[in-house]
């Protein structure tokens, strides 16, 4: 669809602007990005707005975040004038507050997953131990003997 950018019309009836993303012009795309609705009606309930950015994967049973993704591969969710990590919002919304000093681990190893069933609060050291070997993250390399 990137080939249509700036060429095709916005899919919102009556909008004369050109395509920007997801079938909408930049104005409607940004309204969707901020509120979950391209027409700009604000979904007041953050939970409903959060759900509008998720999609269930039939293959993995992950609840995938289809909103903004950070450079590190985690979902970003706009909340109360700032960005929060989508998986942390999901955990706190369904399980409760994240205990101090703990991190949220993706049991499915999918960073875009926000399924509460796939998230667990763990210590930073446990989170690093669980990182798959050869994932490229710190703590994931197998231990080797020191050179002689």
pLDDT tens across 17-32, in order?
A: 999 988 899 989 888 8
Q: What sign does the dihedral 91-95-100-102 (CA atoms) show? A: negative
48 vs 138, residue with greater confidence:
48
pLDDT higher than 50, residue 107:
yes
Q: Kindly state the tokens that stand for 36.
A: 């979950």
C-alpha 94/C-alpha 73 separation (Å) is 22
Domain ranges of the chain: 1-42, 46-138
What is the assigned CATH class of domain 46-138? alpha beta
Binned at pLDDT 50, 70 and 90, residue 91 comes out as very high
pLDDT above 90 covers a percentage of the chain that reads 51
Determine the pLDDT at residue 143.
Answer: 45
C-alpha 96/C-alpha 127 separation (Å) is 19
Around Cβ 20, how many Cβ atoms within 10 Å? 18
pLDDT higher than 60, residue 98:
yes
Binned at pLDDT 50, 70 and 90, residue 145 comes out as low
- For the segment 86-109, the average pLDDT, to the nearest whole number, is 96
pLDDT higher than 80, residue 48:
yes
What mean pLDDT value characterizes the chain?
84
């Amino acid at each position: 669809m990137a080939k249509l950018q700036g060429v095709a019309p916005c899919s919102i009836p009556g909008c004369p602007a050109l395509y920007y993303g997801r079938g909408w012009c930049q104005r409607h795309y940004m309204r969707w990005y901020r509120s979950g609705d391209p027409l700009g009606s604000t979904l007041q309930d953050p939970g409903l707005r959060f759900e509008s950015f998720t999609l269930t994967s039939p293959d993995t049973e992950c609840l995938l975040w289809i909103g903004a993704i950070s450079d590190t591969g985690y979902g970003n969710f706009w909340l109360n004038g700032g960005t929060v990590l989508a998986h942390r919002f999901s955990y706190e919304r369904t399980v409760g507050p994240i205990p101090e000093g703990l991190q949220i681990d993706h049991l499915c190893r999918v960073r875009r997953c926000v399924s509460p069933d796939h998230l667990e609060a763990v210590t930073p050291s446990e989170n690093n131990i669980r990182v798959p070997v050869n994932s490229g993250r710190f703590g994931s390399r197998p231990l080797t003997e020191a050179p002689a």
